[in-house]
Amino acid sequence: METKNTKWIILSVLALVWGSSFILMKRGLDGGLTPYQLGAFRIIFTSLFLLSIGWKELKNITKAKILPILFAGLLGNFLPIFLFALAQTQISSSISSTLNSFTPLNTLLIGSLFFGLTFTKRHVLGILIGIIGCIVLVYAGASGNPSKNYWYALLVLFATWCYASNINLVKKHLSDVTPFTITVGNFAFLLLPALCILYFTDYSWQITALPTNDFPNLFGSIHPLIYVAILGIIGTGLANIYFYKLIQLSSPIFASNVTYLIPVVATFWSVLDHEGVTTIQLFGTLIILIGVYITNRK
């Protein structure tokens, strides 16, 4: 019972944190950062934070685990971070978070094809219902923003493939490694590539702090790097530790269901940021929640 409650608590907290990450990405991009700078800074902030508190964990990584941890870093963090940043230059944060909900389907497909994952008809039904809800939300967003280039949505779909591959990889090859060790190892490998990417973007520190008249905050004008630092330390570093713990406590399918709840939180932030929300978007969100319930009920 304790494990069951714990995994639901972690799932809920991750949905809240990751659902908020899309608005943080938007604020970073609106503040003048390019997608490559945003992605690089996000990794750098995460890496420096994790190494400052957990560099001793690196000695716990055996030679046999180096390659799986390297691939987990690439698939679970490096590629998706840049793909989402690029996608949000053309599609809204709420739509981007919604497309992320294709992760459970990809987790099921990749797990069954390459990792021996078993599933039931109930899993398939719940996932399909969730996807229907996603389609409803995407349609609502696209009809409200016809000027956007929705081909960029393919970048998010590719990111969900990366996430799904990583979930199955961690469950099969890294279940005996602590979540903290996995996360520190991930970003120790990613720090140098991120620094190289930032160097070649010719980043200027002279970026004007964001005004406060179009987004609620209590601290006056905020430099975009503050948003990215929060995104990196909390939304990436700490969240990844608990996500890996969730994978080990439950199943790949259950862990991937966090992406069904993320759009609910992201839509809330979209309303606060004056993006607006329609009745059809609320209907799509309800369909997604029904899908999550069906997939996970006993």
Taking every pair of C-alpha atoms in the chain, what is the biggest distance, in angstroms? 55
Q: What is the mean pLDDT of the chain?
A: 84
- Answer whether 0.85 is exceeded by the pTM: no
Write the pLDDT tens digit of every residue in 178-232. 999 999 999 999 999 999 999 998 776 655 555 544 555 544 467 888 999 999 9
Give yes or no for a contact between 134 and 96, defined as CB atoms under 8 angstroms apart.
Answer: no
Q: What pairs with residue 210 in β-bridges?
A: 222
Please give the average per-residue pLDDT across 119-124, as a whole number.
79
Taking alpha carbons only, the member of 9, 46, 38, 27 closest to residue 238 is: 46
pLDDT in tens, 228-262: 999 999 999 999 999 999 988 888 878 887 887 88
Residues 6+ apart with CB under 8 A from 11: 246, 254, 255, 257, 258, 261
